A = this chain, B = another copy of it.
Amino acid sequence: MAKKRKPRRKRRTRAATRTAPGTAPGTVVMDPGAPRPVITVMAFRPDKLVEQTISDPRALRDYTQRWPITWVNVNGLGDERTIRTIAESFDLHPLVLEDVVHTHQRPKLEEYPDQLFLVARMPQLEDVFRTEQLSLFVGPNYVVTFQERPGDCFEPVRKRIREGVRTRLLQADYLAYALIDAIVDSYFPALETFGERLEILEEEIQHKPTAEVLRRIHDLRHDLLALRRSIWPARDILNSLVRDPIPLISDSTRTYLRDCYDHAVRIIDLVETYRELSGGLIELYQSAVGHRMNEIMKVLTVIATIFIPLTFVAGIYGMNFNTQSSPWNMPELDWYWGYPLTLAVMALIVGGMIVYFRRKGWIGG
């Protein structure tokens, strides 16, 4: 039970970490439990790559000035001063900083004079479905990403940079695309676990439709809602990146983003299908429970209707009418074949019942 309770707690907190209503916008209230930021820089040109973890964010301005392309990744948002310094190095809008730190934003896209600001949500495959906020800034020659925690789905991108497949990655918009694409694609494994959960549930419904199973369908639907809330707006953002005339996005990157958009649409398709299927599971569950109920009722009915008449017959010959006072008073009791005849009548009743129940399909095949 304790294991079940935990995720629910977490859910509640989703709406919780926010600035108090009415405080000045741009106010950054840090979550005291957030991990301290770790800044990793990848700056490269076609023939060279620098990959470093730096501790002083003031060094960042250097990179953007000296390298054709710089990717700054920040893991953890637990120190206001560090975050502020990074923000200043890239001239980030103060309002936006608030969105970076309060990690319950819906995915969104905001255009600034020569910067794009994107919020995306990365699915996390723990026992409960959760998403981590990724804030991504694209400038003319840099990409800055903020993550809530260490651990992400960008390893393959890093590998491509390290291995020198960099030609296209030298453009900031293409690099941003590569990261977005990695995020979108990371939804597929998440969806697969959903598919598996659906299948397991379907099997369990058939074998053991306990209240626990319904509870888990409920949880699954809860998670699908969360998943949907993070992928729907993502699709809109991708659509807008593909169609709107954003100067920072080149036409060739747009072609790639269109592909990415197609993936988002496919994910939504699957999510909606899973939602419908989970609705069908509830029907299956209710029918399985109803089926059990019917089976119980059938056993009760069969046993009761067979034995109740028999008991009645036995009751008749248990009466104490005085056979002496009248020849009409239960003469059967004194018959030679009285008892065997009575048993035979009972056997007949049982036989008739069994034939009747068989016809109704309550007994046997």
Binding site for B on A (CB under 8 A): 8, 11-12, 15-16, 18-25, 93, 95, 98-99, 104-106, 108, 110, 153-157, 160, 165, 178, 181-186, 188-189, 191-192, 195-196, 199, 202, 206, 208, 211, 214-215, 218, 221-222, 225-226, 229, 255-256, 258-259, 262, 265-266, 269-270, 273, 276-277, 280, 282-301, 303-305, 307-312, 314-323, 325-326, 328-330, 332-340, 342, 360-362
Contact = CB atoms under 8 A, between A and B. Distances in A.
Q: How many copies does the complex hold?
A: 5
Contact of A342 (B182, B308, B319): B319
Given A214-B283, A258-B110, A319-B318, A195 B12 contact: yes
- Main secondary structure, interface of A, reads helix
Contact of A188 (B18, B218, B321): B18
Given A283-B214, A284-B218, A300-B304, A338 B314 contact: no
- Most B Cβ at <10 Å: residue of A189, A208, A328: A328
Contact of A328 (B153, B266, B273, B340): B340
17 contacts: A11-B195, A21-B181, A21-B185, A22-B182, A22-B186, A23-B160, A25-B259, A93-B255, A218-B280, A296-B297, A300-B300, A311-B312, A314-B316, A314-B318, A317-B321, A320-B333, A325-B334
A265 B104 CA distance: 12
A362 B319 contact: no
A294 B199 CA distance: 26
Contact of A156 (B23, B195, B270, B291): B23
Contact of A304 (B95, B104, B284, B303): B303
A27 B337 CA distance: 87
Nearest to A323: B322
B328 A337 contact: yes
- Most B Cβ at <10 Å: residue of A270, A287, A299: A287
A291 B361 CA distance: 14
B199 A8 contact: yes
Given A195-B15, A273-B225, A22 B310 contact: no
B319 A308 contact: no
Contacts of A191: 15
A336 B325 contact: yes
A285 to B, nearest CB: 7
Sort A-B residue pairs by CB-CB distance and give the 8 closest, nearest first.
A22-B156, A314-B315, A21-B185, A22-B182, A317-B319, A318-B318, A300-B301, A326-B336
Contacts of A265: 106
Nearest to A96: B259
